[in-house]
Amino acid sequence: MSQHTVDLSGQTYVVTGANSGLGLETARKIAAGGGHVVLAVRDVAKGEQAAARVEGSTEVLRLDLSDLSSVRAFAEAWDRPIAGLVNNAGIMMVAEGRTVDGFERQIGTNHFGHFALTNLLLPHVTGRVVTVSSALHRGPQLDFDDLELSHSYHPTRAYQSSKLANLLFTAGLTSRLAAAGSAVTAHAAHPGYSATNLQSHHANPLVAKVMTVGNKLIATSPEFGARPTFHALTADVPAGSFVGPTKLGGMRGAPGVVTPTAQARDAEAAERLWAISEERTGATWPL
């Protein structure tokens, strides 16, 4: 399926973190297909600047995934069908810190915020939920006794944990949608090694500098990195698929269904994370 000929006319899509990088490129692809794209962003001014660079039908709404009150306000104000929800926003390898609700910043923003948003918006979703993970989900299993890594925080480990959580969330969502007989499907995607501004925010300035150089020498463009997300959103793929580049060890190549780690396919871990996420966010299964 060509990513430029798919017809999304008359349908509304929500993309979190759409003011730059992969989110902005995903918004562009949706708008190019005729879809109406809502850029759900923390900074509305930056969102408006980004929307001005998108050819097609756009709208900018405020959403701060690191603050559950903002997530709830966004969901409570929503009143339209959503053909596709793209959980794209994220932070990467930042210094240790806490969200408004007391979560470690990376798992709080990348997972808990999107978990709450998805459950709260799900009654409006008619098509797909796509959550952007990373090839870096490959790492240790989640420490369910210390998801905040408060005893041994490391920025890379925290990022890996949050991206593994994205995949376990997708697995839990897939099983629940199937059990409910819903026509909605859930998928995950990863961009390979794509150049975005996330790498420059590493807690270690030296690592940030090295990663920025890597962006220039090795990484693919954000447009290329957004292809797996758009593929997961629009192509004919099985429910629960993980979509990423299919060449060079998942770094480059055309998007297709790829296999996540065994940890990401652990049904027991997915259920445990779901229960913890409901308890911590107060957002429960709506169907």
Residues assigned a catalytic role: 159
Contact 157, 149 (CB under 8 A): yes
Locate 40 and state its tokens: 């759900």
Q: Which two tokens stand for residue 54?
A: 């998108």
Distance CA 285, CA 167 (A): 17
Q: Are 117 and 160 in contact (CB under 8 A)?
A: no
Handedness of CA 90, 95, 97, 103 (dihedral sign): positive
> Do 93 and 136 form a contact (C-beta atoms < 8 A)?
no
Identify the DSSP state of 254.
E
- Pairing outcome for strands 242-247 and 185-189: parallel
Q: Which DSSP letter does residue 136 get?
A: G
